[in-house]
Every structure is written in structure tokens, then in C-alpha cells.
Amino acid sequence: EDTVPACDSPIYCQGDLLDIIQRMRLFNDSKTFVDMSLKQSPEEVLSAFNNLSKPISEAQGRKFVGDHFSGPGDEFQPWKPTDLPRMPAIMNHIKDPLLRGFAWDLCRTWKDLGRKIKIDVKLNPDRYSLVYLPNPFIVPGGRFRETYYWDTYWVVKGLLLCEMTDTVKGMLENFAFMIERFGFIPNGGRVYYSRRSQPPFFIPMMYDYYKATKNLTFVQSHLPAMEAEYDFWMTNRSVSVQRGDVTHILNRYASSVNSPRPESYSEDLKTASSTNNSSARRQLYQNLVSAAESGWDFSSRWFSRDPGTNLTLDTTRTTNILPVDLNSVLCMNEHILSELFNLTGNQEKGKNYSKNWQRRQTAIFNVLWNPTKRVWQDLDIAANSHRDYFYASNILPLFASCTGRNETQTEKSVLTYLQNLGVLQFAGGFPTSLETTGQQWDLPNGWPPLQHMAIWGMSQSQNQQLKAEAFSLANKSIVSNWIAWNRSRNMYEKYSTNISGEGGSGGEYGVQEGFGWSNGVVLELLRRIFPALQANRPSNDMDYYYGIEIGYTFGKFTAGGQQLEKGIATSCTNPQIFVMGISLMATAIERKTRGPKKKSETYQLPIKGFMDDLAVTTTKDVQTRFTSHSKTMGTNWISAGDIHFIKEDVKLEIKMSNPSVFDTKGNWELRIYKDKSLPSKAMKEQLCDLTRCFAVIGITLLFGVESWVNDYDRPFTFTCPQHHSINRVISRHFDAAEDRIFDFKCSKYTSSSERESCSWSDYVNDFDKPVVFQCPNGGVMDGVHSYHDNGAEDRRFRFYCCEKPGMCLYNCFYSGWVNSYDGYFDYAVPPGHVMRGWTSIHDNGAEDRIFNFEVCLIKICINTGLVGELIGKRAANNTNGRHN
Ligand SMILES: OC[C@H]1O[C@H](O[C@H]2O[C@H](CO)[C@@H](O)[C@H](O)[C@H]2O)[C@H](O)[C@@H](O)[C@@H]1O
């Protein structure tokens, strides 16, 4: 019997180098080493390794790795998806404003999980374990830096709900590219995954894409790839099972690799350490790799249940088992293939796949349905008996609509089975199993893909009780994610089913954050299962407006109540009226910024809110954020009643449908968004009739206008006129564009007419890098140029500095940070001062910058004794206080 390594690479998949270095456990996570790239060719690295005298000490091993490897992660270039629209329709469907905000945040996390592979990986593939893919893709997150096969099914669902169809298309093309290269889709995008697959969801992903886009041409062009993938499973992973005189064909997980997994090398050696016989060891490795192919790595599901064996990893027997979930997914594939061939006019293939689908349903019922337990169960091939244990996978024929028998009876007995076991009662959702083994696909973990498949299957049932249980599980699942998100701004790869909001545990690595499939599953559950779900309100903190409705009349026009919240105001039939209402409301709140007088004759602390990110794109699409900055003193004055704000014939009412909001702490900042181009845009797009457009113009003028020197994602060059210098910088950030717009004001600093000597600096920063700039030679900042990059989601800056003849700068100081990430700022240079420098830091999480300005007093030098005194004498490390 031959050893089959994970791939052919003599560095990443087999040989002494891998063996010696991985046994040293130089990194906390074994995956780190095999994700690193080579600094030289594999031949050079191997020869350097062979030249080391053996045995190699740990210090030598560390040095060797440092000298010859780099990364991990340096195979990628900056990339952010650019196809996230400003207002995906999912926002219109989710009822609860908080959950709508959550969905929007999740849509935005795709930006953090986007990756694009550097061209060098294509040119020098043997220097990388990463498999080159032509299009950018979304990764799960954390240690999972590469694409993962079955994860992508839920990522695609999430992306489609965020309407990011270009990204999805590219990812599907990547999978077709992998099928072309490997004959199937590997577990993940590394060479060490290239001899095992994962649950086959390519065809369902294509189908989801088709349903979302109706792009049949694209899907049709990939039908050969879909068939090739299906054939792979039928040729390499099928088993026949005799029942009566019928031979059923079913599938199993069974990789040919029978050596330790490179990414968990020392872990596999340890698991096999008490298996002395080399053939048994190879068999164990093969079963471990095959368990990884199932996506359930690892679980008691694959352990031997022979009497006398413990529930331990070294008893893993994956290839002996016919799994319910794999066969359900293949059944789904057969159904979809039949439908797609019919749709594209190939009725013959359509019929063939339909036959396969019917056969599979029969096989699932005849082989995997346990008539005693009245549920589907995995089959132990060797013992020819069901494995009578609870696994979430047992009910997945419901998800695949492959129950193969009378639905009413089946659904009823499935419900009874679940109720009797108590698996519907866990606080955090549907458990994976009822075994506690320390493995991650066992108790206490609940996995997002399983939550989704189980819930979806149950929700499609005709049995009302089973359907109701689906809602209850969806509620638990969303809430658990929501609690964790509010607490930590993290989405986990798995969750505890014991404690809602807690990440999962167990297995080979700590719980990972990101996280592709969790984001997709929450979006899917929110949209398709429980759009009406109401989230629990945070009890002692308030970052959002919620439960606030505004209703107002304008002349004879009365607008219906609009819900306002952090996320989005939706279903507005008249954007202009809405815009006006919001502006008015902001103003009304501004007027109350001191809060009402208390009995003690003192005023409540200020309340401030601001409207942000206003965009009107169609007659029905208005979005704005109405956010609040929370936390100072308790105040509940607004809950006392409605506010009526009457300005000429405009009447604004603010109704509080949830007054308790204001029992919490509030300290909000007010900004009114005024886009001077809005009324004309609205007129052009015929969004309003003449009277109302004029009204908008009127309101816009009434409240003043802010102008911007740039649009989001666009470059700008701004300079002040001669003898003027910048005295105000205003800027607003927009999350969907991950960029800022700017405005500058200038003031005259002298009446002298002497010519200034001005010049532009070079770019003072790279993307994602700090700006630390000071105009040289006593110069003053009179202009700024900047451009934005969508990949880095950042700006580079150049500055226009002018030496002011006869003028001296002194008493320079820094403003301190004038904004928070994603925050608005309006910084005014103090009177008598000019701007000399900028400091700015970018944050990759927020994809935004904070700013700190250096300003100085300016005076005529002549006869002041100050000549030449000031400039360049910047106090080291003084970033906040005054300095000379
Ligand atoms: O490195 C250990 C294992 O890690 C992966 O498995 C786990 O994460 C995957 C990505 O989220 C997920 O698809 C899988 O279901 C998880 O168990 C990897 O897929 C395994 O092959 C690998 O051995």
C-alpha cells in the first residue's frame, strides 16, 4: 500500500523539510507554516535545507524558516469589493430597525473579507501554497485566509442579499477554474487541500446566482463544469448498497490521501501516535482527511461506535459511513441540474438528471431512513446498520427537499424525534450533536451552516408545529449572533448552543472571527425566514434611534409616519418630503439641544443627533442614517410628549413609539446634511413636481448649504486665492463608499500685495499609511490635493504651501484629533492663526482616517523681534499641546 501525500509539493505536502519543521511546532497554529511563501525557488530552499547538518535545533529551524519563507498573507494585494450598492433591497424587508442596521453592517463586512491574489502567484506557483485564482473572492476570516468550498455557499447567499452579484460571478468563475485544473473543487484554495473536496455546493451556488440575476447565459456556459463536478463525486465517492433486489447508489466522503494533513501535521501525528501498524496508521490518516472533506472536522459522527471504543479521534472511520447530508446535497444537485438543462433546452439531459434525482430520493428513503427511529440516519457500511445517534445532519433531506416519501408523516415523525431528544430546547440554537468530545463538530457547538439548513428545511414543512420550531430556532440563531456582534463587533465561525451570544469552542484551533458563512446565514435568516423578528433592545446603552416616527404636514401635504433609525429610512414614496422632514426634525432637535428646563431651573444636558449619508437614487430609494452619539447623562424629556415644530406652514411632529429609549443616556451631535445639488438633481430626475421641488430648494436655502470640493471616490485639488490660507476644513465620511468628502474655506491673512512663493509637495503618504506633514520653510498651507483608491479604500495627499513674505509663524500647536473614525468634522482654525500641518492616521477596520491639524499664530515679522524665530522649531513628540 502506497503513501498518498496531500499534494506533490516537496515542501508543502511531503518530505523531510515539512516533517522536521512541523514537528518543531514553531507556531501556535500548524497552518501558519504551510501558508508561508518561499523567498527562493523550491529547489534552492530544499538544497539549503539539505545542507543543514542534522539534527536541526529549534533555533536553527526558526532561522531557516525566517531566511527562506515569508508571510503568511503576503500573496494578496489590497482589494475591496466595489459592488455593494447604497441600499440593497434586503433593507426594505427587515422590519426591525436594529436588525436592519445589523444586516447593513454585515453587508459591509464583505469588504474586510475580500481578497485578491497577486499575479506573482500565477507566475511562480511553486513558491506558494496558495492556489492562483483569477478573480477576487471572500474568505471565511481569521486563520482561514483562502477560499473554502462549502463555506462559499453561505457567503454567496449573503453576497446576493447584499446585491454584490459581480463579486459572486467572479467567485463562481474561480470554482469553474478549479474544476478545470483539478477535476473537482478542493476543500480550500491551498495545494495541501487539493486532494480532497468538501460538501458539493457548486451547483446550488450557481442556481442561487441564476435565481438572483436570471443570467442564464452565464449559468449555461458553466454547465460542463457543473457536470464535471457531479461526475467527480459519482466516479470517486460512490458506493452501492443492496436493499432487496435493488442496488442503490449513494455517496460518501473518501479522499485518497493517507498521510498527515500538512496544515495540522503535528496534530495528526499525535492522533496516530498509538497506532503502531503503518497500514492502520495510513488508514487512520485517510479517515481524518476524509472527515475534513466532510466539513465536519472533527466529530463523534465519524468515530467508531464499536463496543469498548472511546469517543476519541483515533477511532475516526469516515469512509465506512454513508452520510445523510452528502446524499441530500447531491440529491439537490441532481434536481437543479435537471432543471437547468430543461431551462437551456437540453431536455434529454434534463430527463436523465431527473431520473437520478428520483433514484436518489428512493435510495435516501430505503437506505438512510431508520424506520424504527423514524428519521434519517447515517449508515455504517461495514455493519450495514444505522448509526443511531443525533446529528443535525439527520434532518437535512428536508433542506434538500429529498424526503422521498409521504411528507405529512415524515415531517410529523421528524418533529417527534427532535422533541423527544430535547434538541429544540437549546438556548443558542440547534446543536450539532449530543456528544461532548472536545471536538468542534460536537456539543456545545452550533454551526451556522447547520442552523441554516435545518431551519430552512423545517420552515418549508407543511407541519405547522415544525414550521413554528423553525422560527424559534431562527430567532435563537439570529439573537445569538446579534448579542455577540453588539458585545464585540465580531461574527464567530461557530457559537455555543448553551449560552446565547457566546462563541463556540473545542477542536484544533480557537474560535475564528470574520466570518463568511455566519454573515451569510444571518442575512439569509433575516431575509427569508424571519424578516419580522424584533431584536432585544440594549438595556443600558443607546447607539441608535429606534422606535421614533416622524409625521409632518407641508401645506396641504401630509406625509405618513417614517421610522427613523441608525440604518435606513425606507419605503418613502416622496424622497423630497422625507428629506425635508428629516432636516426639520434635526433642526427641531437642535433647538432643543439644551434640553428642557428642569424643576430646579437647570437645563438637561445637550441632546444631539445627526443625519448622515443622505442619498436619493430613485423615486422610492432614499437612504439616510440618523445616528446618535450616546452616553453622558440620563434624560427623558422627549418622552414627555410629541414635539411640534411649526415653521410657517411646515409642521413637524415627532412621535415616540418607544419612549424608554430616551431613558438611557444621550449626548448627540447635530449636523444637518445639506446638499446644494439635491433640489436640482431631484428636478432633473423628476423626483418631485415643481411646487415640491421649490419647497426643497426653499428648505435647503433656509437651512444653508454645505458644498464639497469632491464626490466620494473622486480626486480633488483645492487652493486658496493669493494671500489667503485655509481656515476651515469640513469633512464627512460615507460608509458605503468608504471615503470622505471635503470642503475648505480660506481667509485673508494680510493686506500686503507682495508675491508669495508657493509650491506643491509630493504625495506625503502611501495608502493606509500615516500623513505627517508640515509646510517647510515657514510656509502656510494654502491648498490640498488628494485622490482615492477603491482597493485600499484610502486617500493620498499633497499639499500646497506658500511662504508668506514678511510674515512669521509662532506659538504653533496641534488641534488634537478632530474626528473619530467614520465621524464628521468641521474644524475652524482659531482667529489670527493659519494652518501649517496635518497629521492623519488610517484604520483598516474603519477604512477611514482621523485628522489632527497643526496651526500657528501669524504676525508680521518686521520689528517684532520674532523674525526667523518660529518655523521648524517643532517640539519633538509634541502632538497635542502648544509648542513654539
Ligand atoms: O485546519 C483544520 C481544518 O480547518 C478547516 O475546517 C474548518 O474550517 C473550514 C473553514 O471555515 C470549514 O469549512 C470546515 O468545516 C471547518 O471544520 C478546513 O476546512 C479543514 O480541511 C482543515 O483540516
pLDDT of residue 569: 37
**Cα three-residue angle 507-508-513, rounded to 5 degrees:** 85
Return the sign of the alpha-carbon dihedral for residues 405, 406, 408, 409. Answer: negative
DSSP labels, 231-278: HHHHHHSEEEEEETTEEEEEE----S--S--GGGHHHHHHHTTT--SH
Is residue 470 within 8 A of residue 529, CB to CB? The reply is yes
Alpha carbon nearest to ligand 1 atom 21, residue: 292
Cβ atoms < 10 Å from Cβ of 41: 12
What is the DSSP code (8-state) at residue 497? S
Phi and psi torsions of 582, nearest 5°: -65, -45
What letters, b where the CB count within 10 A reaches 16 and e where it falls short, cover 516-543?
bbbbbbbbbbbbbbbbebebebeeeebb
Name every residue whose Cβ is closer than 8 Å to that of residue 600 and which is 6 or more positions away in sequence.
none
Is residue 708 within 8 A of residue 861, CB to CB? The reply is no
Name the residue of 138, 144, 266, 505 to mutate for ligand 1: max ligand atoms within 8 A of Cβ.
144
Return the sign of the alpha-carbon dihedral for residues 540, 541, 547, 552. Answer: positive
DSSP labels, 178-237: HHHHHSS--SBSBGGGTT---S--HHHHHHHHHHHH--HHHHHHTHHHHHHHHHHHHHHS
**Ligand 1 mean position, distance from CA 117 (Å):** 21
For residues 593 and 680, give the distance between their C-alpha atoms in angstroms, rounded to a whole number. 31
Instruction: State the closest ligand 1 atom to the C-alpha of 149, by its place in the atom list counted from 1.
Output: 13
Alpha carbon nearest to ligand 1 atom 18, residue: 292
Q: Is 263 a catalytic residue?
A: no
For residues 757 and 443, give the distance between their C-alpha atoms in angstroms, rounded to a whole number. 72
Name every residue whose Cβ is closer than 8 Å to that of residue 603 and which is 6 or more positions away in sequence.
594, 595, 596, 597
Instruction: State the closest ligand 1 atom to the C-alpha of 295, by its place in the atom list counted from 1.
Output: 15
Instruction: State the closest ligand 1 atom to the C-alpha of 508, by its place in the atom list counted from 1.
Output: 2
**Ligand 1 mean position, distance from CA 295 (Å):** 6
Give bridge partners of residue 797 from the DSSP assignment: 786
Alpha carbon nearest to ligand 1 atom 14, residue: 295
What is the DSSP code (8-state) at residue 57? P
Name the residue of 297, 318, 440, 445 to mutate for ligand 1: max ligand atoms within 8 A of Cβ.
297
Is residue 754 within 8 A of residue 41, CB to CB? The reply is no
Instruction: State the closest ligand 1 atom to the C-alpha of 298, by its place in the atom list counted from 1.
Output: 17
Cβ atoms < 10 Å from Cβ of 250: 24
What is the DSSP code (8-state) at residue 582? H
Alpha carbon nearest to ligand 1 atom 23, residue: 292
Three cell numbers written together for 540? 443600558
Give bridge partners of residue 116 from the DSSP assignment: 77
Model ipTM value: 0.95
**Ligand 1 mean position, distance from CA 388 (Å):** 26
Instruction: State the closest ligand 1 atom to the C-alpha of 263, by its place in the atom list counted from 1.
Output: 1
**Ligand 1 mean position, distance from CA 428 (Å):** 22
For residues 403 and 321, give the distance between their C-alpha atoms in angstroms, rounded to a whole number. 20
Helix, strand, coil fractions of the chain, as percent rounded to 5: 35, 25, 40
Three cell numbers written together for 844? 483598516
Whose grid coordinates read 473622486? 714
Instruction: State the closest ligand 1 atom to the C-alpha of 196, by its place in the atom list counted from 1.
Output: 21
Would you give the end-to-end CA distance of the chain in angstroms? 80
Three-state secondary structure string covering 283-333: HHHHHHHHHHHCCCCCCHHHECCCCCCCCCHHHECHHHEECHHHHHHHHHH
Alpha carbon nearest to ligand 1 atom 15, residue: 295
DSSP H helix total and E strand total for the chain? 24, 34
For residues 714 and 736, give the distance between their C-alpha atoms in angstroms, rounded to a whole number. 14
Instruction: State the closest ligand 1 atom to the C-alpha of 140, by its place in the atom list counted from 1.
Output: 11
**Ligand 1 mean position, distance from CA 288 (Å):** 12
Instruction: State the closest ligand 1 atom to the C-alpha of 449, by its place in the atom list counted from 1.
Output: 15
**Cα three-residue angle 185-187-192, rounded to 5 degrees:** 105
Give pLDDT < 70 ranges for the chain.
Answer: 1, 86-87, 97, 535-707, 736, 751, 862-884
**Ligand 1 mean position, distance from CA 250 (Å):** 24
**Nearest alpha carbon to residue 199 among 295, 335, 304:** 295
**Ligand 1 mean position, distance from CA 297 (Å):** 6
For residues 627 and 643, give the distance between their C-alpha atoms in angstroms, rounded to a whole number. 19
**Ligand 1 mean position, distance from CA 293 (Å):** 9
Instruction: State the closest ligand 1 atom to the C-alpha of 512, by its place in the atom list counted from 1.
Output: 11
Three cell numbers written together for 98? 436594529
- The structure's pTM equals 0.69
Cβ atoms < 10 Å from Cβ of 355: 11
pLDDT of residue 579: 52
For residues 234 and 509, give the distance between their C-alpha atoms in angstroms, rounded to a whole number. 33
pLDDT of residue 859: 84
**Ligand 1 mean position, distance from CA 72 (Å):** 17
Which amino acid would we find at residue 267? E
Name every residue whose Cβ is closer than 8 Å to that of residue 661 and which is 6 or more positions away in sequence.
537, 542, 545, 546, 547, 548, 639
Give me the count of residues in the chain: 884
What is the torsion angle, in degrees rounded to the nearest 10, for the CA atoms of residue 533, residue 537, residue 538 and residue 541? 130
**Ligand 1 mean position, distance from CA 143 (Å):** 10
Is residue 115 within 8 A of residue 148, CB to CB? The reply is no
**Ligand 1 mean position, distance from CA 384 (Å):** 29
Instruction: State the closest ligand 1 atom to the C-alpha of 292, by its place in the atom list counted from 1.
Output: 21
For residues 176 and 779, give the distance between their C-alpha atoms in angstroms, rounded to a whole number. 58
H helix or E strand, kind and range, residue 130 = none
Phi and psi torsions of 394, nearest 5°: -60, -25
Name the residue of 22, 131, 147, 148 to mutate for ligand 1: max ligand atoms within 8 A of Cβ.
148
Give bridge partners of residue 851 from the DSSP assignment: 840
For residues 204 and 157, give the distance between their C-alpha atoms in angstroms, rounded to a whole number. 10
**Nearest alpha carbon to residue 534 among 479, 452, 486:** 479
Whose grid coordinates read 511546532? 25
Give bridge partners of residue 741 from the DSSP assignment: 732
Ligand 1 surroundings by CB, under 6 angstroms: 31, 140, 144, 148, 150-151, 187-188, 261, 263-264, 292, 295, 297, 493, 508
Which among 493, 565, 675, 854 is annotated as catalytic?
493
**Ligand 1 mean position, distance from CA 189 (Å):** 12
pLDDT of residue 657: 30
**Ligand 1 mean position, distance from CA 519 (Å):** 17
Q: Is 297 a catalytic residue?
A: yes
Three cell numbers written together for 274? 498509538
Three cell numbers written together for 202? 457548486
Which amino acid would we find at residue 852? N
pLDDT of residue 471: 92
**Ligand 1 mean position, distance from CA 510 (Å):** 12
pLDDT of residue 621: 42
Q: What 3-state class would DSSP assign to 31?
A: helix
Q: Are strands 609-618 and 621-628 parallel, antiparallel or unpaired?
A: antiparallel
Which among 96, 163, 297, 621 is annotated as catalytic?
297
Instruction: State the closest ligand 1 atom to the C-alpha of 493, by its place in the atom list counted from 1.
Output: 11
Cβ atoms < 10 Å from Cβ of 142: 18
For residues 850 and 153, give the distance between their C-alpha atoms in angstroms, rounded to a whole number. 37
For residues 426 and 499, give the distance between their C-alpha atoms in angstroms, rounded to a whole number. 8
pLDDT of residue 486: 73
Three cell numbers written together for 471? 422560527
